[in-house]
Amino acid sequence: MPPVTLKGINVDFPFTPYECQKDYMSKVIECLQNKVNGVLESPTGTGKTLCLLCATLAWKDYFKDTISARKIAEKMGGAELFPNTPLASWGTAATDGDTTTYYTDIPKIIYASRTHSQLTQVINELKNTSYRPKVCVLGSREQLCINPEVMRQESNHLKVHMCRQKISTRSCAFYNNVEEKSMDKDLVNSILDVEDLVKAGNKQRVCPYYLSRSLKQQAEIIFMPYNYLLDPKSRRAHNIELKGAVVIFDEAHNVEKMCEESTSFDLTPYDLASAIDAVDKLLAEQAKEAGRGDVSEDFNMESINGGLKLDITTIAKIKQILLDLEAAIDSYDVPDKGITKPGSFIYELFQTAHLTFDTRTPIFEALEQITGYLAGKPGIFMNTTGLQKLADIIQLVFCVDTQEGNKGANMPLNMQSSTTKFKVHIHKDTSHHQKKQNTDVWSSSSSKKQGNVLSYWCFSPGFSMQELVRQGVRSIILTSGTLSPLSSFTSEMQIPFPVCLENPHVIQHDQIFVSIIDRGPDGVQLSSAFDRRFVPENMASLGNTVVNLGRVVPHGLLVFFPSYPVMDKTLEFWRANGHADRIENIKPMFVEPRGKGTFTEIIDGYYDKVNDSKSKGGSFFAVCRGKASEGLDFADTYGRGVIITGLPFPPRMDPRVILKMQYLDEMCRKKTPGVQYLSGQNWYRQQASRAVNQAIGRVIRHRDDYGAIFLCDHRFKSTDARAQLPSWIRPYVRTYDNFGNVVRDVAQFFRVAQKHRPPPEKKPAKGSCGGAVHSADAQCVSAGPCHSSESSTKGGFAQKAKVLDSHVPSLKRRRLNEHGGSEGNGMARLCIEYETEMEASRRRPAGLLDALEHSDSRYGDEDEALGGEERANRISTLSLQYDKRVDDELRGGKRKIKVVQERKIPLSPNVSEGKAGKAKSFLAEMKRSLSQVNFQRIMAALQTYKQMDDLDKLLAEAADLFTGDTNTYNLLRGFYQFIRPHHKKRFDEKCVELTGQGCGYKPDHSLSKEEKETLMQNGAKPGKLTSVAVASDSSSSCSQLNASLLLNKGGHHLGIHRLTTEEHLPKNKVLTVDDPKCEGQAPVQSAQKSQIYASFIADVKKSIGLEKSNQLFSAIQSYKKTDNYDSLVGTVVSLLTEKNEDFNLLSTFALFIRPHHKKQYKEMLDALIGDSTGSSASSEISGQLIKVSTPGKAQRKISSFFPSSQRK
């Protein structure tokens, strides 16, 4: 691959870079050339790590070449060594005019990331490049030590002290080989990660920990976790030299938090008590030995080798210091909210315990010696964590090294300038009782009262960053996939960042779906706000949302909660109310544990379930800022969708959060020149947004990946919340008020994505169980037995989401009330009318058989496009439900059809005049009864209602004026005539509630004028066959459908439950024709078609209720007028998928879709519920019509609508 030239530097890149990758590498080189800092955001999947490595190492090589050129120039005395390549063309861009000519001045590259696993990924990327620098990776003894005795120690600090003891006595064979093996060329020139170092150490019997520290001296690029850089004591312990170095923080979204935590501490009563107890026991032991004469005033060889170089008097002084510090902290009578002091107060407090700049060094060394001695002492385990913590605190608080001419008493004054970024907070210890159970330290009298915790908190990440700058680094580069918003991030760092970049993604628009879901399927507003998160209606709506999104999102689904308490409480509610069972049946649930112990086991179980070819995928429930949201890779099928259930704001009442916000507000008020601070409120919002962005980043991990993001909290709709999303996501964000539209659109998204980007082949799981919820304590969410789906797809590819227990519950819309059953046939004729209205320009089929042939040929073309194999398998659970319904109806009884003549009721010509007169009389009576002011007030309310359609405001005004006196109750009820149809039922109910008497409401009052006119227009002329009365001896089709036997069975079910063509056909339909002049089959076909529509509408009303069927009627009316398919489908999906038995209605509704929308409707069905015949239901119904006139031909025609697997 030819190199890419960027900023005058040739970069060897493994493949042709995208434009966003070139931009990224150019910005990296710009930082290095100009010795400036940069903050670079590039989404996961854009090759950020590879770009960072290649650009940095290319610049380093160019820097080295520039030094070589200068050395040559010095020796040549200005003559050109290569005439065709003048020395000037070698450039000075790499060094930016530096005059150095020493190879030792080539900057070291320090590459820091959050964890060793992330560093391992970076090192593997480096191995894939053409660059081969000398590499070193730093780690702790926890990762690198291979001495069996040291590794048996329980805590890290015990391992440290035992290791030091063995080194001092030369008793570690692995350490003794370090000096010899550190010159081994194979080790020096190899690119080794932590695992490689450990393998090499075991193979060559050399200590990996000290080998890595030895390799550091020669390394050109050093890898380390970034707390090694930010924590002053870790930086000193690893002897990290920063002068002139290039420092890179990868995954830098955590740097802000790490900067603050690395310079903060909490000292609990337990820490002090355990330290006092350890020193007390050491004193007792030393006193006993002194009594036996084993200890002299002078040090003997045994004490030197044992590491204890302290006499009893010094140990006693250390104990007294600890007691004084404990007494000083506990001397404060703190309220529940605690006491807050300035950062400089820490020195006053420590001084009371004789801890000052003058005494810090001897006290620190004494604590280190005691800890080391006790850690290396065989026998009974001694808890030394408190001692080690105190030693670390002394290093932290007195962190500034004494310099020449600036010693002693002046040091506290220097420190006070930096302590403005700190606060001291003393508060009650709430962990007292828990600690008492774990140790016997509290047997002393000090345990009788509750102790205080001393907290020393840093509130400026810039404190650590400015310290790095003071160390003389060349450049600091912060990069991550989620740093947005950059302005607030850089302001927190408090150092300049002249170079900034927000890179776009390399994916296409059809690879990402982002939606803000304001309300759940039941219309309840979704919110994780403090006062709403645990409201039962809110938790239930969120559960329904997860259930329904789980159906349409294939493979792996991630669900992130704001915090562990919210997740625990919500899952508990879902278990108690059946939501967990429904989710479990769709996608087995796995729950992120709080501890590290079982996390790997649970995440492996989730991966296995997603990979299992017999499963429908899995769902993983986790929290923002948790382990799963920060570093795990959910690429491809492991994360096809991510649901964010709320904004994860920090706990508002937490003292640290309160003080942080107060500190920022205080800094904003000071208005320091050249320094910009966030306000406390902006920081608070930023923390939530950054956690959301990090969780979002778990999906779409590379350029061929795709996935959906669902933001399920109404607060995401705000402009501010959307502005803080990553820049590459913002253009794709869509806001939905109708949940049915979300389901429709995301189903379509995955249908297209799976077509263009087939999922990788799924492998059978090793024995995963899909019935249990795998949580930290390995308990099931649902008590039901474990099970797995029997259905699978050819080739092992992932299935589309199938229909399961329940479907999208209907949305709460504007309440439309019931209309009587007599409107059913009018609606049926309306459907017949609009279905063909838009096809007027086309040639209409001459008869019903021709129409069926026309429909047959149209869907036949679609079958050809789908291919033979897929066409043979296009029977879905939808068609199976409908087949079962027809079969059950036939077995339950014969359906008798009687055709009757409709009675047309003419409207009175004086109806409108009567209404106007009645309204005028009512207004006159109201004017007489009310004062002028009140009359104007109610008329204004009426005018507002007319404009805003807000019944609540009108009710409030009317109730206030007319319910104070029983004599005016009739005026309140009289307002009924001014109420719009869709509000009449509600107004009537309110009148009953307020006055004890209704307004004479009838269901047809809820029909609008247009709806009533449409019903009348669809009536037949005298003598025409229009109205059909249907009676059946069979029970309801909906009640006979056993969804649990039919749903989600796929090909396996087809093999067992095959139905013959005859089983789909109705038997012995009896037609009674009232009109003696009826000739031929046309009138019968018209009546039969009208009957089928009326039958469907009757089923709809029985299944979803009159109110919701009225909503459906309204949507059909609108579709007839506007031809707006999208609006119709959003309503239909939300209304006809609430219960399993409703599902066949969704398919049968294809009868009402206009011909030019039928294909689109079929595709929506396929995407929503799996492969279906699309119009199988309509085909069967049409077959019922055909059999009446020509049974033989009709049977052949209906048979052609079914795949060959059913025509046996």
847-888 pLDDT, tens digit each: 333 333 343 343 334 333 333 333 333 333 333 333 444 444
Instruction: Supply the pLDDT for residue 760.
Output: 62
E strand or H helix that includes residue 341: strand 339-342
Q: Is 668 annotated as a binding residue?
A: no
Instruction: Supply the pLDDT for residue 551.
Output: 93
Among the residue ranges 57-61, 812-816, 922-926, the one predicted with the least confidence is: 812-816
C-alpha distance from residue 1112 to each of 878, 1116, 1119, 1128 (Å): 20, 6, 10, 9
Nearest residue to 848 via CA among 1128, 1187, 1120, 566: 1187
Nearest residue to 487 via CA among 664, 257, 724: 724
Instruction: Supply the pLDDT for residue 291.
Output: 72
Q: Is 769 annotated as a binding residue?
A: no
Nearest residue to 926 via CA among 957, 953, 956, 948: 957
Q: Compute the average pLDDT of residues 581-589.
A: 93
C-alpha distance from residue 853 to each of 426, 846, 866 (Å): 85, 11, 20
E strand or H helix that includes residue 642: strand 641-644
Per CATH, domain 509-650+696-796 is 3.40.50.300: yes
- Name the one residue in this structure whose structure tokens are 């063509």: 1061
Q: Compute the average pLDDT of residues 357-367.
A: 90
The secondary structure of 1122-1162, three-state, reads HCCHHHHHHHHHHHCCCCHHHHHHHHHHHHHCCHHHHHHHH
Instruction: Supply the pLDDT for residue 1184.
Output: 43
- Binned at pLDDT 50, 70 and 90, residue 67 comes out as confident
- Binned at pLDDT 50, 70 and 90, residue 1057 comes out as very low
Alpha helix stretches (DSSP H) within 398-482:
410-418, 432-438, 462-470
The b/e string for 544-582 (b: 16+ C-beta within 10 A; e otherwise) is bbbbbbbbbbbbbbbbbbbbeebbeebbebbbeeebbbb
Instruction: Supply the pLDDT for residue 701.
Output: 85
Say if residue 159's pLDDT is above 90: no
Sheet containing strand 221-225, strands side by side: 135-137, 221-225, 109-113, 246-249, 475-480, 38-41, 499-502
Instruction: Supply the pLDDT for residue 704.
Output: 87
Nearest residue to 40 via CA among 471, 462, 504: 504
pLDDT per residue over 718-750, tens digit each?
A: 988 898 898 888 999 999 988 999 999 999 999
Q: Is 136 annotated as a binding residue?
A: no
Q: What percent of the chain has pLDDT over 90?
A: 29
CB atoms within 10 A of CB 99: 8
Sign of CA dihedral 125, 128, 130, 135: positive
Tokens of 58: 């290319």
Instruction: Supply the pLDDT for residue 104.
Output: 61
pLDDT per residue over 462-487, tens digit each?
A: 888 988 999 899 999 999 888 877 87
Say if residue 534's pLDDT is above 80: yes
Instruction: Supply the pLDDT for residue 1173.
Output: 46
Contact between 264 and 456 (Cβ < 8 Å): yes
Contacts 24+ apart (CB under 8 A), 365-372: 366/310, 366/314, 366/315, 366/318, 367/318, 367/391, 367/394, 369/307, 369/308, 369/309, 369/310, 370/278, 370/279, 370/282, 370/308, 370/310, 370/315, 370/318, 371/157, 371/161, 372/161, 372/164, 372/165, 372/307
In whole angstroms, give the CA distance from residue 339 to residue 425.
6
Planar angle of CA 428, 430, 431, nearest 5 degrees: 130
CATH of domain 911-1012: 1.20.1160
Say if residue 97's pLDDT is above 60: no
- Binned at pLDDT 50, 70 and 90, residue 31 comes out as very high
In whole angstroms, give the CA distance from residue 722 to residue 223.
36
Q: Compute the average pLDDT of residues 1052-1063.
A: 34
Among the residue ranges 297-306, 498-507, 762-771, 1071-1080, the one predicted with the least confidence is: 1071-1080
Highest mean pLDDT pick, 432-446, 546-560, 671-685, 1142-1156: 546-560
Residue 840 has phi, psi (to 5 degrees) of -60, -30
The better pLDDT of the pair 1189, 195 is held by 195
Contact between 3 and 13 (Cβ < 8 Å): yes
Nearest residue to 170 via CA among 305, 302, 303, 304: 305
Q: Residue 519 forms beta bridges with which residues?
A: 525
Say if residue 1022's pLDDT is above 60: no
Instruction: Supply the pLDDT for residue 77.
Output: 64
One-letter amino acid for residue 857 of the chain: S
The b/e string for 379-391 (b: 16+ C-beta within 10 A; e otherwise) is eeebbbbbbbbbb
In whole angstroms, give the CA distance from residue 232 to residue 1183.
82
Contact between 1139 and 807 (Cβ < 8 Å): yes
| Ranges assigned E (strand) in 390-451 | 422-428
- Binned at pLDDT 50, 70 and 90, residue 989 comes out as confident
E strand or H helix that includes residue 196: helix 194-204
Instruction: Supply the pLDDT for residue 1041.
Output: 33
Instruction: Supply the pLDDT for residue 417.
Output: 61
In whole angstroms, give the CA distance from residue 31 to residue 13.
19
N residues, the chain: 1208
Sheet containing strand 1070-1072, strands side by side: 1027-1032, 895-900, 1070-1072
Domain boundaries, the chain: 269-401+415-428, 509-650+696-796, 852-902+1027-1206, 911-1012
| Ranges assigned E (strand) in 885-1043 | 895-900, 1027-1032
CB atoms within 10 A of CB 841: 5
Q: Is 399 annotated as a binding residue?
A: no
Q: What share of the chain is helix, strand, coil (3-state, %, to 5)?
A: 55, 10, 35
Nearest residue to 705 via CA among 744, 758, 764, 747: 758
